[in-house]
Amino acid sequence: MNCIIIDDEATARAIISQLCSNVDSLNVLEEFPNAMQAIKYLNQNEIDLIFLDIHMPDFTGFDFIETLKNPPKIILTTSDPNFAIQAFEYDCIVDYLVKPITPERFQKAIQKAEAIKPKIASAKAVDKVETSSGNDLYVNIDRRLIKIDIPSIYLVEAKGDYIQVKTEDKNYTVHSTLKKIEDKLPDSLFLKIHRSYIINVDKIIDIEDNSVLIKKDVIPVSRSNRPELMKRLNLL
């Protein structure tokens, strides 16, 4: 697997590079001290795996992941054990290594990365959001195609292997992905503001700090998505 290392500490990069050199299946192409340099590289190159630190100046590892449209497999490398639960909300993260990293633990992470391909392929086959027509979206629920009026949708939330579509009248839980439904919704109305949320911009009631209020739902806005949200607003 072709891989890159992103860590602001030179010593940490050297240690991970050394661990990689002991694994025949790994080929380290580049090392980066910050996420911005890595983003420029990834815009022109395809890789299979990223070793990514969480805490970096100005741009966290999670911020970096949210900038990637099609992220490769990622192994987090960090001295902070407190983000493990948050990390596994991302499908692309295959393991979470806490420094100092032992060779045995590193090897287990690589084995997970090498085994992840079939799981990703099978997940794509279970999407249940059907083609939309005009202002209608059809979702497959219990072998029935349910028609939803698109403008009535105010929020879509990812919940594990499911998404919840919230409308003015009713909520629908669908076996699908946020990416699948994002492709079906019109850009003129909808915007992804967080890795787990798509909102109907016309339904926003209030915005405060890094959250928006829609109906009674307070939705977080990620740092990377906030600029696009502000562009969409008709500001006075």
Q: Residue ranges of the domains in the chain?
A: 2-123, 136-232
Distance CA 38, CA 72 (A): 13
Distance CA 200, CA 189 (A): 5
How confident is the prediction for the chain on average, in pLDDT? 86
pLDDT, tens only, 208-222: 888 999 988 999 999
pLDDT, tens only, 40-68: 898 888 899 999 999 987 778 988 888 88
**Topology at the third CATH level for domain 2-123:** Rossmann fold (3.40.50)
Calculate mean pLDDT across residues 104-109.
96
Is a pLDDT exceeding 90 seen at residue 77?
A: yes
What the block records as the tokens of 174 is: 């669908």
**Topology at the third CATH level for domain 136-232:** OB fold (Dihydrolipoamide Acetyltransferase, E2P) (2.40.50)
Chain mean position to CA 2:
21
Bridge-based pairing of strands 153-159 and 162-167 is antiparallel
- Please work out, in degrees rounded to the nearest 5, the angle formed at the alpha carbon of residue 20 by the alpha carbons of 14 and 24: 150
Comparing CA positions, the residue from 150, 159, 156 lying closest to residue 219 is 156
